[in-house]
Amino acid sequence: MSGQPASFIAGPGGRVSGEIRVPGDKSISHRAVMLGAIAQGITEVNGFLNGEDCLATLAAFEAMGVHAERPAADRLIIHGVGLRGLKAPPAALDLGNSGTGMRLLAGLLCGQEFDSVLVGDQSLMRRPMDRIGAPLRRMGARIRTREGQPPIKITGRMALQGVAHELDVPSAQVKSAILLAGLYASGRTLIVEPTPTRDHTERLLAAFGVPVECDGAEISIRGPAILQGCRIEVPGDFSSAAFFIVAGLIAGASPLLIRNVGVNPTRTGLLEILRLMGADIRLLAPRDCGGEPVADLEVRPGPLRGITVPHEFVASAIDELPVLFAAAAVAEGETVVSGAAELRVKESDRISVMAEGLQRVGVHAEVLPDGIRIRGGAVGGGLIESRGDHRIAMSFAVLAARAGKPVVIRDVRYVATSFPGFAAMARSAGLLLGEQD
């Protein structure tokens, strides 16, 4: 993480307006690299997120013999090696801070002819991995962890068999790991979701020519499968746009236009929640881009009111909940979120860390077993410990626009993993955000 600022110094009073375009979708960028690598022929990826998480995934495949040209920072030309063409890497594959990269890659590597080891940075090495290990073992994989945490050690040359697996908790990463293993398995791999989660893997598999059957809560594929290289257009990342959606609502001087944002309905629970809170957010020029719905978002500033968030929107807003908590801090009344236990096993325990930060700036926040209760009110200044969590850091950078005094946010180096150039874009939109080494 060298070269990245250690802290943000966020000033109060920033006024957001104008027009911005956020970087490419991280979830789609990860998956495009993985599927392009094991496809036959060439895959062209436009809009690739040039962030550290996705670059770690790309480096892992290059270590396994995949050649990728980069004619521009956001463009890849991947020379696929086919389903069985990956080579044994010379060392452990380091995924940095990327939980998505590690979990999805584990599923894909279970079908290889060689042994492999997955590691990451200090934060990633503490994250739970048995949620993928258990279903993959049922498929015949030999996969070991250290008391449920990385390193993940995978034995190759195992015959995989398709299984039916019902997810205990909604998780697109677990679902995707199983589907990627299913590409190498004999027979049908079936997943049953308790609640719909982001479906980028299913959409991309279809784009690469793999038949995917979706019937209500059931998703299935049949393996072994053959993938054909294709052209992928990556839209702007909704999770990155979320910070500016909230900034436009709570600190807007005039409408803010966010161009070319992916609005996949399995990702946009935040929009539904904010609209229930009174937000005026409009989708302009809706269109299809490479199998993904895309639109320009117009965000109009206005007051918000606290609500009890309906459970059906929680899974599709899971990554955006930290910035929702920032919006709740300035909403009138009380906001309650439950059914969000998944937040406790992200880059940090996002429920506890957000509650701690809100309390430090004078906002009433009560931790619940699987959520949080926030009473909106005046926001003061203070010192925020982001615990190395990029979404925590960016959420408080947005909230600081409504603070009475400056907010210092420490340990922000990991912002570059998902949103390179965040601070510069925030300043261009009108937020008062400085950086400090």
Tell me the domains of the chain and their CATH numbers: 7-24+235-436 (3.65.10.10), 26-233 (3.65.10.10)
**Residue in 25, 199, 319, 411 annotated catalytic:** 319
Question: Quick check: is 115 catalytic?
Answer: no
Q: Please, what is the Cα angle at 219 between 215 and 224, to 5 degrees?
A: 130
Positions of the chain with pLDDT lower than 50, given as ranges: none
Residue 86 CB burial class (10 angstroms; 0-12, 13-18, ≥19): buried
Task: Please tell me the distance from the alpha carbon of residue 318 to that of residue 54, in angstroms, as a whole number.
Answer: 20
Q: Under a CB-based contact definition with an 8 Å cutoff, are residues 357 and 400 in contact?
A: no
Tokens of 274: 């904010």
pLDDT tens digit string along 5-38?
A: 899 999 999 999 999 999 999 999 999 999 999 9
Q: Under a CB-based contact definition with an 8 Å cutoff, are residues 201 and 232 in contact?
A: no
> Helix, strand, or coil here: 323?
helix
Tokens of 185: 């398995």
What single string gives the DSSP state of each residue in 6-65? SEEEEETT--EEEEEEPPBPHHHHHHHHHHHHTSEEEEEEES---SHHHHHHHHHHHHTT
Residue (of 364, 342, 343) closest to 355 by Cα position: 364
pLDDT tens digit string along 114-123?
A: 999 999 999 8
**Per-residue pLDDT at 3:** 65
> Helix, strand, or coil here: 409?
strand
Tokens of 380: 């003061």
**Per-residue pLDDT at 134:** 92
Residue 77 CB burial class (10 angstroms; 0-12, 13-18, ≥19): middle
